[in-house]
Structure 1
Amino acid sequence: MKAPTDFDSKCIASKSIDHHAVPIIPINPSEFRKTIKYSENSGYIYLSIDRIMLDDYKKAVILDYHKKKDQRALSSNLVYPTCKKLKEECLAALRSRTLKKDEKIIRDFFNNGEESNDYSHSINRFDRDRFKPLDNFISGETNVRDERNIEILAWLIGFERRPYDYRVDYTTTPGEVNEEIKEITAESEPEESEPEKAKHEEIEKKEFVRLKQPGKRVPLTKYGIDIVIFLITIVGGIGLSMRNASIERSTTAYICTSKVAKKYHLNARCHGLNNCKSEIISTTIASAKDGGKTLCEIEH
């Protein structure tokens, strides 16, 4: 057996003294992360790249934990974790800060992937000792075999970019723009030439000044014209109806007093009145209509 070197002894001593140090996770070169886009059908290579990217996610989660811990933005259950405290924190998080996207994380960790109406029962039944891998991960253990521990910690600390998505570059900060996206945007939107730019700016300036000047009328849009025409039609229709009603109240009409007569006449000599065997009286068109009479067909 190979005797331990001085370097090995220092590593062992460092690990025993600084048990709660930030875990050392290698930063993966960006070309490895890009390879996944071209490796989805290449079996082993794809799985290897996915594992590398999962390490980026793990690193981002634990760094976010320590950042929030330094900012005193975490509860005491997370600052000084134990298996019991982690279980209590899961119940507190379930009540106060669970989003729709967290349901799968909780379901996979506590309920073996099965859906439930109340996951608090699953958490209460969960053996506290099963939080030990999560406690080790928070304390500095990087060799986490069960990825569900990473997701649970991401949920508990409110890591924004949870759950893990292989399409996300976790080596960048949330507000940082991906360079590839910037390049694609620049290619899809050709830059205007200087004369065209100046022309557009001048047009916009004139439009702004014209609209701001007092007393200037802004041209009606197509929809504005349609609305005006609609209002004119309604008002005109109401006016015409009122005018017709006024005419009917003042215009003389002639009716036969027979009970079977159903017409009114505008002329006392209308041929339609020749068949009247009763009295012919004068009234108004409005009164005749109120009595159920209609205009004689001859006078239409």
Structure 2
Amino acid sequence: MATKSAEHHAVPIIPINPPEFRETVKDSENSGYIYLSIHRIMLDDYKKAVISDYHKKKDNDQLSSNLSRPTCKRLKEECLVALQSRTLKKDEKIIRDFFNNCNESNDYSSCIRKFERDKFKPLDNFISGETDVRDERNVEILAWLIGFNPRPYDYRIDYSSTTGHVDIEKIEDVKEKLEQDKLENEITEVTSLIFGNTSKRVPLTKYGIDIIVLLITIIGGVGLSMRNANIEKNTTAYICTSKLAKKYHLSNKCHGLNNCKSEIISTTIASAKEREKTLCEIER
């Protein structure tokens, strides 16, 4: 059996995939065909980026001895070290998936200690370059151990253009711009649907439906307000001319006018409201 040398840097031969694969995957998710194949091809870019980052850090003495000279025993020990010193919230799913006897309520350290040492063999072989690894959980656990970013795997990221470091802020900026563009397009489309060009077919996503409800509410509210104002300008009201009188009345026979010691005059509801009069409680 061949032994691993300390200077062994064999990197598994993994194809670098053209950008069109990363574009096609978005359409494949919607159409339902060839998605799994493309996902597998793109995952190869991620594997290559992770293992390349491992060897780069190893050459620069940035890894612990457990990772620089890995064995099944040392990899298990390194998992316990990483758990205590460099585990982020996003790493919890990676840990649960790899140590498959874990769940959210369990103590991860206990899961790792109970994990059979021989199960690290595929990861050990992958690191050394002796064999490729088909179970992506091994790739993710290595990404966690060496601090590779961005992790876990995200199909929207072009891993073939990086050696292990991606500008996270740039990615978030792009995602934010895409969401903003999507929202602006839907506002334009829904507005066109309501005010004109109704022959255009508009995809009603969650944003679109929310916008339609908002526009209908605004338009309906404005229309109702205008209608009410017109009614008030043309509806007769009666008020007492006394300075103490605070109400207007819809009937000149309202009992609220019985106590008026001054003149009772007719006006409109709109005019009465301008004089800061409010509707008589009897007529509410």
State the TM-score, normalizing by the size of structure 1.
0.51
Q: Which residue identity is paired with 1:52? A: I
User: 1:65-117 CA distances to partner (integer Å, 9 max, x unpaired)?
Assistant: 01111110000100100000000000000011111110011111113452234
Q: Which residue identity is paired with 1:68? A: K
User: 1:191-225 CA distances to partner (integer Å, 9 max, x unpaired)?
Assistant: xxxxxxxxxxxxxxxxxxxxxxxxxxxxxxxxxxx
Match of 2:85?
96
Give RMSD over aligned pairs.
Answer: 2.8
CA distance in structure 2 between the partners assigned to 1:136 and 1:20 by the alignment: 12
On the 8 A contact 2:43/2:153 being kept in 1, the answer is yes
CA displacement at 1:118 relative to structure 2 = 1.8
Structure possessing the higher relative contact order (Cα contacts under 8 Å, 6 or more residues apart)? 2
Structure 1 residues 64-213: aligned runs within 5 Å: 64-112=53-101, 114-141=103-130, 143-173=132-162, 174-175=166-167
CA distance in structure 2 between the partners assigned to 1:81 and 1:36 by the alignment: 35
Moved >3 Å (runs of 4+): 41-44, 175-178
The 3-state SS of whatever aligns with 1:100 is coil
Q: Which runs of 5+ in 2 are unaligned?
A: 182-284
On the 8 A contact 1:89/1:156 being kept in 2, the answer is yes
On the 8 A contact 1:65/1:157 being kept in 2, the answer is yes
State the TM-score, normalizing by the size of structure 2.
0.54
Q: Which residue identity is paired with 1:143? A: D
| Among 19, 22, 26, the residue aligned to 1:33 | 22
On the 8 A contact 1:33/1:52 being kept in 2, the answer is no
CA displacement at 1:48 relative to structure 2 = 1.1
Q: Which runs of 5+ in 1 are unaligned?
A: 1-12, 189-300
* Stretch moving more, 147-156 or 107-116: 107-116
Structure 1 residues 209-288: aligned runs within 5 Å: none
Structure whose CA Rg is larger? 1
Instruction: State the aligned residue count.
Output: 169
User: 1:173-206 CA distances to partner (integer Å, 9 max, x unpaired)?
Assistant: 314968xx5xx89xx8xxxxxxxxxxxxxxxxxx
On the 8 A contact 2:22/2:155 being kept in 1, the answer is no
